[in-house]
Structures are given as structure tokens and as C-alpha cells.
Structure 1
Amino acid sequence: MAVREKRKRPFWTMERRDAAAGYLFIAPQLAGITLFVLIPLGLVFWYSLHEWNVLASTFRFIGTENYERLLTDRDLPRVLGATAIFSAGLVVLNMSLALLLAVLLNQKLAGITIFRTLFFSPVVVSLVAWTIVWSFLLQNNGGINGMLAAIGVEGPNWLRNPTTAMISVIVVQVFKNVGLNMILFLAALQGVPRELYEAARVDGASPFKQFRRITLPLISPTVLLTSIITIVGSLQVFAQIAVLTQGGPGISTTVLVYYLYQQAFQFHLFGYGSTLSILLFVIVAVLTFAQWQMRRKIVFYEN
């Protein structure tokens, strides 16, 4: 009896073709992440282990000395405090105002598209140009104090007082980017079924109860997304600080990114600047991970 030979399975199977196609599709993204994220992050960590002074042409391995310096840096606690105040103020004001505007602009009224465009337009304006205009408006003899003087109020020197300087920087940044979150909330609101509101009105629910029981739960995925985007963005603000206050008065508006810039590019301490970059990366990663873990509590359809 002839022995039936086992048929060899071809190497280039349908499963392997599908896998190869998938890898080809994600290859550009993987290459971009590797070249522009993973490799730079590794280099920054390597530089943080060195004393690198470009002016003195020194590049010396010092181990963990830069990380030990973090613990003894007298300015760092104040910088982290300013960063926390700025981020908290920005996130609360931005998201609250964005949600309020989205609710108001989610009405079917004549000309509502014009108002949506007006509120979104600052997002597409050049950041530096926007900040320079606001720097003129916030000067002691600028446009803001001119309008206050017209009604008999003497305005402060907005950018030269620690309290008003921080408030000014936060407000300028909120007005610049609130339109982006507004559009995201507006898109989420338009996805909420109208039938739910009609049923709630029949049951006698007030507008506030409808918002709390229907609107917020159904747009909670967008709330999570905008909170992550806004918090990460608030920790990376640089141009506004550089143009408006240069971290002053004193270091009252010196956030971590601007302090990193000062150490690396003004004082030419690239090793310590790299260490501050690692600190910033850890803070962003921890906050993002914490928000992601909270999604089961704040996103209503998560199990």
C-alpha cells in the first residue's frame, strides 16, 4: 500500500499575508514613535547622567548627581507649586467654560454657526502673535487698564504682580484654547439622543437634573478625553510664559517647562535640564495613568 505523503503547508498563508499587511500599515507610525519618541527619550535619560556644559565643552559622566540635585534645588518646590497652580487653574477654567459654551451653542438658532466660528477662531491664530497682542493689552498703560480707567477703576500692573501675573497667564491660555474643547463637547452633545430629554421632561425633570442625569453621563468619554488633553497641554506651556512674564516677577510664574528651558538653554546646564525633562515626563505619565485608571468611575459605559 502506498504511503500517502503529507501535503506541505505553504509558507505564504492567508494569515501571514494579513499579518504582513497589518505590520506594513503600522510601520510608519512605529518608525515615527521610535525615531521621535523612544530614541530621544533614551538620549535624554543618558544626558541626565552627565554634566554637559556646551560653553565649557564638557561632557562628563556623573551618575545620579543631577537627580540628587533635584532634592536640594531650592527653587524647584516653588516651580512645582507654580506649575500646579497654573495647571489647576487652566484645567478648571478651560473645561468649565468650554462645556458652558458648548451647551449654549448647541441650540438651533439663526446665526449660531457664526458664534461657533468666533469662539473657535483663537485656536487657529498663531500662538506667538496671540500672546504678543495680550502682552500689550496687559501692560500698565495697555488696553485692559485703559478700559478700566474709562469706568473709573484703576487697574493693576497685571504682569508685574505675582498674583495678577499668574491669573493673566492662565486667562490668556484659556481664551486661546477653549474653542478646541468647546468643539469636542459640542460634538458629544449633538450625539445625545433627543428622546431621552423628551422622556425626562415628561417625567418632570428640571433642566439641571437633565444635565446631571443625562448629559454628563453620556458625554463622559469626551470629558475624560478633554481632561487628559488639557492637563498634558497645561504642563507643556512655554511660549506664553516666555513672552508674557519670562517666569516673573521673581519665579512666581516659572512653570516646570520654562525652568527646564532656563537651566538648559540660558545657564547651559544640559545635563540638569535633561533631568528636569525626565521629571516632567514622569509627572505627565503618572497623571495620565491616574486619569485612565479613573475611567471606570467617570465614564458611565465602562464596566
Structure 2
Amino acid sequence: MPDRAGARPGTGTPPFWTVRRRDNLVGYLLITPQLVGSVLFVLLPLGLVVWYSLHEWNVLAGTFEFVGGENYDRLVTDANLREVLGATALFSVGLVVLNLALALFLAILLNQRLRGTAFFRTVFFSPVVVSLVAWTIVWQFLLQDDGGLNGLLAAAGVEGPNWLRGEGTAMLSVVVVQVLKNVGLNMVLFLAALQGVPAQLYEAAELDGAGVRTRFLRITVPLISPTILLTSIITVVGSLQVFAQIAVLTQGGPGVSTTVLVYYLYQQAFQFHHFGYGATLSVLLFAIVALLTLVQWRMRRRWVFNET
């Protein structure tokens, strides 16, 4: 009879089911659902997008023709793509800078031991859990030419612009709406990081004569820099994937001034039925997101505290 480890007594053969192999099997079984999900819903769709980008797929005509690199050649000759990439960069930079700066400012204020901080934490975080479409529709009514914001300005004797149709205000309006929607999430992350900074460091620095600015730059920023890295990556990736706000507020206008890459992709694939070119734009978007994430991750060693 084999023993409990799987080896026959007296043979000298090492057991097959060693402790290490049993542990490895348990580990593989635990990661199998996540691995299968990643293959089916991440790697496989990504591979199909690359495959579709090499074809011209006309759903209306029922044709699916291999065109090789023609869709990628079109990226170079597309007259609108440069403006779309410019609008995408403008939106991303504006969103990341305003979101992170405002979130850190609110976190510092709400980290104080003052009465009512719990209420204001709830107020600033509550837009995060509100439906994105509902939030955007409300702001569409507020920002239109005869909307609530211009009504308040008119009551003060100021004539407000057409926020969503003006060349200089449309992008600003979209950025502000998105910042107000998601700033609470980064605020909570910063608040958790600030509460993890030892108070003794501030007390010692204050005894040494360090001012508020010096304590912030020399103590606060270095110790919460891992959280700054996390929030910056999340915000950058999120800014490159914005769609609903553009679709509801401006539909990419005026002109293409607020047409970001995701909305342009949607137009090409689902409005103009250029599915092959839409897939090519998806590959471009994936490359941009991957590159920016890699750059941020590689640069962390230069400024993130305790990274080597």
C-alpha cells in the first residue's frame, strides 16, 4: 500500500505529491479563474482588435477584406488626427493637473482636527458614487446658453458665454465637470496617505525652525509620493478613456476642439462604420496608455520616496 505521501514503503522512491508540489497546485488553482478571465476578456479582445485593424470591415455591406497596413498608413494622412491628439493631450494635462492639485489641497484641509470635517469629506466624495451619465446631464443643463450658471451670472449683472459651444470654454467646461466628478476619489487616497505621516516629524521640523512650505516639501510630499504616483497613473489612464462626458456635453464640438481620441474612435467605428480604422485607433490608444504608464513607472525611482 502506498503511504500518505504517495510513495511505496521500502522502495526509496521520493513521493510525487511533495509539499512544494501540493502548494504549487493550490496556487495554480487559485489563480486559474483570474487567469482565464484575463485571457478571455483582455488578451483575446486585444488580439482581435489588432487583427481587425488589418482589415476593412463594412458591416452594412457585409464585407471583411484584408488590407494589411492601409489603416496604419491612414493614421499618418488623417487630417483630423493631429487636432484630435492635441485635444486629447490638452484634456489629459488639464484634468491631471487640476484633479491632483485640488485633491491634495482638499485632503490637507480635511486632515485638520476641525469640527465638520466628516461632513465635508462626505460632500466632496459623494459625486464619485453618482451615475456618470446623470452627473453629466445635470451639468449640461447648467452650462448651456440659458442654463443655471448663466442665470446666476445674469443676476449679478454679468453676461455669461455659451460654455459648451465656445472655442475657448468648451474644453475648459468638460475638464471642470470631470474634475468635480472624480476629485473625491483622489482626495480620499491623499487623506489616507496624510494620516500615515508621523506627527513627530512635523513637530521636530517645527522645533528646528522649518516653515509650513518647508515642512510640506520636505516631509509631506516625499512621504506621500507613493500615493501621488498611484493617483497620477489612475488619473492619466482615466483621462485618456473619457467618452460619456464628451458625448453628452459637446459631441466633440465646436469643430473638433473637444474630440478626444476615444470619441474619435467611436465616430469612425460606429457612426461612419469604418470598423477597421476604428480598431487601428484602438491600437494607437493602447500604445499611448501603455507608454505613459511605463514612463511614469520607470521615473518613480527619481522622485518616489524609498524607491530603489
TM-score (norm 2): 0.96
Q: Quick one: which amino acid aligns to residue 8 of structure 1?
A: T
Match of 2:87 among 67, 73, 82: 82
Instruction: Provide the residue aligned with 1:114 in structure 2.
Output: 119
1:161 matched to 2:161: no
CA-to-aligned-CA distance 1:273-300 (integer Å, 9 cap, x gap) = 0000000000000000000000101211
Match of 1:208 in 2: 213
What SS is found at the alignment partner of 2:112?
coil
1:61-76 mapped onto 2 (5 Å cutoff): 61-76=66-81
* Partner residue, 1:286: 291
CA displacement, residues 138-196 of structure 1 (integer Å, 9 cap, x when unaligned):
01110110111111111000011121000000000000000000000000000000110
In the alignment, is the contact (CA less than 8 A) between 1:264 and 1:273 conserved in 2? yes
Residue 131 in 1 paired to residue 167 in 2?
A: no
- Residue 270 (structure 1) aligns with: 275
Where do 5+ consecutive residues of structure 2 fail to align?
1-9
State the match for 1:236 in structure 2. 241
Question: Per-residue deviation at 1:213?
Answer: 0.3
Partner Cα distance (1:90, 1:51) in 2: 35
CA distance in 1: counterparts of 2:33 and 2:194, whole angstroms: 34
CA positional deviation for 1:60: 0.3
Shift in Å, 1:208: 1.0
Matches within 5 A, 1:172-211: 172-211=177-216
Partners of 2:134 and 2:303 in 1: CA distance: 37
Tell me the alpha carbon deviations over residues 86-116 of structure 1, each in whole angstroms, 9 at most, x when there is no partner. 0000000000000000000001112211100
Which of 53, 59, 64 does residue 59 from structure 1 map onto? 64
What is the letter of the counterpart of residue 296 of structure 1?
Answer: R
What is the rounded CA distance, in whole Å, between the counterparts of 2:146 and 2:27 in structure 1? 60
Question: 1:301 Cα shift?
Answer: 0.4
Q: 1-side partners of 2:195 and 2:261: how far apart?
A: 38
The Cα of 1:6 is off from its aligned counterpart by: 6.4
Match of 1:37 among 36, 39, 42: 42
Q: Tell me the amino acid that sits aligned with residue 114 of structure 1.
A: F
User: Which stretches in structure 1 are left out of the alignment for 5+ residues?
Assistant: none
Aligned residue for 2:253, secondary structure, equals coil
* TM-score (normalised: structure 1): 0.98
CA distances 1:181-230 after superposition (whole Å, capped 9, x unpaired) = 00000000000001100101111110111010000000000000000000
Distance, in Å, in 1 between the alignment partners of 2:22 and 2:142 is: 61
- Would you say the 8 A contact 1:48–1:275 is kept in 2? yes
Runs of 4+ in 1 over 2 A off after TM superposition: none
Q: Is the 8 A contact 1:162 1:253 kept in 2?
A: no
- Give the letter for the 2:132 counterpart: L
**Pairwise CA distance, 1:256:** 0.1
What SS class does the counterpart of residue 163 from structure 1 fall into? coil
In structure 1, distance between residues paired with 2:267 and 2:227 = 36
Matched, 1:14 2:19: yes
- For 2:30 and 2:190, the matched residues in 1 are separated by 31
Contact 1:48-1:273 at 8 Å conserved across structures: yes
Code of the residue aligned with 2:91 in structure 1: it is F
| Aligned pairs, number | 299
Aligned-partner residue type, residue 97 of structure 2: V
**Distance in 2 separating the partners of 1:163 and 1:86:** 13
Do the aligned partners of 1:90 and 1:234 also contact (CA within 8 Å) in 2?
Answer: yes
Q: C-alpha offsets along residues 26-73 of structure 1, whole Å, 9 cap, x if unaligned?
A: 111111111110000000000000000111111000001000000000
Do 1:136 and 1:143's aligned partners in 2 also have CA atoms closer than 8 Å? yes
Q: Distance in 1 between matches of 2:166 and 2:25?
A: 60
Aligned mates of 1:285, 1:205 — CA distance in 2? 40
